[in-house]
């Protein structure tokens, strides 16, 4: 599976398929993506490879630890390490082709935009669930812990 930023200077590959994603409706994710939510996957770092363009990646990190990596040429968000874990946050809108995936969780539904209508599918969390709980929702379909 391949992905890239808007201008194509940053390209990456993911081993395997992404079948489970989440949408975050917090104000930071709305600002980062300019939309009602951020649709993302969490991928084991061993399953992501940079094809080119890492030198075009810039980062913004808030004091709270929220991190946003983006292409310094076009501004697209790009995958980045998820804090001090062995996982990467991957915005699924960057993936090439039509992937078949299911939204399994909606995060920060308690602070969604007033104009955002959240579908009933997937688990709903008022704020951020514990990392183990989110990984559990994502891992059976995403095979995060399969070791293959």
Tell me, yes or no, whether 148 lies in a domain. no
CB-CB neighbours of 98 under 10 Å: 5
Tell me, yes or no, whether 40 lies in a domain. yes
Domain count, the chain: 1
Q: Is the pLDDT of residue 2 over 80?
A: yes
**By three-state DSSP, how is residue 4 classified?**
strand
> Mind listing the pLDDT tens digit for each residue in 61-117?
888 878 899 999 999 999 999 888 889 999 999 999 888 889 999 999 999 999 999
Looking at residue 98, its pLDDT comes to 86
**How far, in Å, are 35, 37, 43, 108, 112 from residue 30 at the CA level?**
5, 5, 21, 11, 9
Q: Is the pLDDT of residue 16 over 70?
A: yes
Cα of 88 vs its chain's centroid, Å: 8
CATH number of domain containing 111? 2.170.150.70
Percent of the chain whose predicted confidence (pLDDT) is above 90? 65
Question: What is the residue range of 68's domain?
Answer: 2-142
Length of the chain: 148
H helices then E strands: how many in the chain?
A: 2, 11
Predicted TM-score (pTM) of this structure:
0.85
């Amino acid at each position: 599976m391949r992905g890239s930023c808007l201008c194509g200077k940053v390209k990456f590959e993911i081993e395997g398929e992404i079948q489970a994603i989440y949408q975050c409706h917090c104000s930071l994710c709305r600002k980062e993506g300019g939309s009602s939510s951020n649709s993302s996957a969490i991928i084991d770092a061993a399953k992501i490879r940079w094809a080119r363009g890492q030198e075009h990646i810039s980062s913004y990190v808030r004091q709270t630890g929220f991190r946003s990596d983006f292409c310094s040429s076009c501004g697209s968000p790009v995958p980045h390490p998820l804090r001090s874990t062995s996982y990467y946050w991957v915005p699924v809108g960057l993936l090439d082709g039509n992937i078949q995936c299911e939204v399994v969780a909606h995060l920060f539904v308690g602070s969604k935009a007033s104009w955002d209508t959240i579908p009933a599918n997937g688990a709903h969390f008022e704020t951020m669930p514990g990392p183990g709980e989110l990984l559990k929702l994502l891992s059976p379909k995403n095979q995060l812990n399969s070791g293959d």
